[in-house]
Amino acid sequence: MNKPLRRISIFCGLLILALLVRTNWLQYVQAEELSTRKENRRVAIAQYAQERGNIIVQGDPITGSAVTDGSDYKYKRTYVNGPMWAPVTGYASQAFGSTQLESLEDGILTGNDDRLFFDRTIGMFTGDKKQGGNIVTTLNAAAQKAAFEKLGDRKGAVAAIDPRSGAILALVSTPSYDPSSFAGNSKDDEKAWVELKDSADKKLVNRALRETYPPGSTFKVVTAAAALEHGVVTDINAATDTPEPYILPGTRTPMVNHAKGCEKASLNKALEVSCNSVFANLGDKVQRDNMVKTAEKFGFNNEKIDTPVRAFASIYDKTMSRDGNAQSSIGQFNTAATPLQMAMVAAAVANDGKLMKPYMVQERTAPNLDVIDRHKPEEMSRPLSAENAQKLQAMMVNVVENGTGGKAKIKGTTVGGKTGTAQHGEKNAKRPYAWFISYADTEQGSPVAVAVVIEDSEADREDISGGGLAAPVAKAVMEAVLKSQS
């Protein structure tokens, strides 16, 4: 072969080699990246080429699928009572993607998950069309409805947990939205999306999991637990050394009480009437680092609480000053919590000090309803001993029976609770948040613990707003759970 032909042959060989390398690079190295790019419409078309599996609550689907007209997406998502269940399902939109369970469980719902490979393979031989699997939740329909209806048109959130297992029974955020309104890719869907996205009410935000608030006096349950666990208090009915007024350590600032009889009040009495001074004093005696340890055992400062939807981390500041710690011990200053976090606090107390990891997916099932996997309840931590938990239970029951939580009473049932009103805004000028955390007790243990927060409270006094506004919501949720299990 002459020299020019040899050069051309070598050059052509190099081109073929480059083509082979490039092809293999695209097919194997970059395959996943290319298949998941937003610009790749074929992925989205395939995603909506068949009916999605359903999200199930107590045997009934709260989702569905409908044929889309005039689109290369064959099916779009539909929802049953969409606004009520949106904080659970999230949304699946042909144009705007997906969130929460719809996103995290997309592989099962579309049938693309590797765990459904056998079903897909069998379908190839039988001629059955591809189907999605189902997500079976832990939610209680009656509790969800009670929470949603009781909150009504107020801004707020409810989280309810079974303390014995960690199963989430209700997860409500208001005002809400209907995921069906923008599930397609038409101009109407786009209009609905834009209105929601730009809404001043933040309707797309799941307030139960992904909004943090100052927890106010409901946090005093954590401070009480810390005082008991670290030996600052041993007898809940013994007088404390709290003066009136109590001056924040290192300052000349008195801690304001909205309750009477707080001077030297016992831990039990201080929780009943919600004495700021007593809990600020106890938080100072426990000291910041020990307060942090107890708060973290309840779940604070944990950035990986997955339900499987990840909740925002609740915060107890690790670096604040001594007076900041005293203020944080009453749920103000830098302390911030999600409703789920405060439901976890009530649940741990109700469950004799054992905190179970919260979850809301009970099972994942194949299209033929075979169980792919089933959740096993998992202990998360032990924030306090059984003995101290029972002391705290007695104190929370006293709050409902004789203190600020009277509107949570349920006839024939033992209820423990704690009210709270969280001041916020510059110089606490904004309307306070109304809080209530509680649990109901039965002979079989506590089947439900609840946290309620209402943002647009018109009350202006510590705890009374929590007892007056949030406690009735918690009561309705607890009653719904008790009735459904009777």
Q: How far apart are CA 418 and CA 220, in angstroms?
A: 8
Main-chain phi, psi angles of 386, to 5 degrees: -60, -40
Q: At 218, which amino acid appears?
A: T
| Residues 250, 244: Cα–Cα separation, whole Å | 17
Which residue among the candidates 65, 93, 217, 277 is catalytic per the annotation?
A: 217
Q: State the Cα–Cα distance between residues 137 and 82, nearest whole angstrom.
A: 16
Cα atoms found within 13 Å of the Cα of residue 288, Cβ hemisphere only: 16
CA 151 to CA 406: how far, in whole Å? Answer: 19
411 vs 440, 472, 481, CA distance in Å?
Answer: 11, 14, 14
State how far the Cα of 84 lies from the Cα of 173, in Å rounded to an integer.
Answer: 8
Q: How far apart are CA 445 and CA 434, in angstroms?
A: 28
Give the E-state strand segments of 101-149 in sequence order. Answer: 134-137
Tokens at 65, concatenated:
């699928």
10 Å CB burial of residue 334 (0-12, 13-18, 19+) is: middle
Q: Can you read off the two tokens belonging to residue 305?
A: 């609480």
Among candidate residues 473, 484, 485, the one with its CA nearest the CA of residue 173: 473
> Distance (Å, rounded) from C-alpha 379 to C-alpha 347?
12
Q: Is 217 a catalytic residue?
A: yes
- With CA atoms as reference, report the closest residue to 422 among 338, 322, 340: 338
**Separation of alpha carbons 282 and 220, rounded Å:** 10
Amino acid identity of 303? E
Active site amino acids: 217
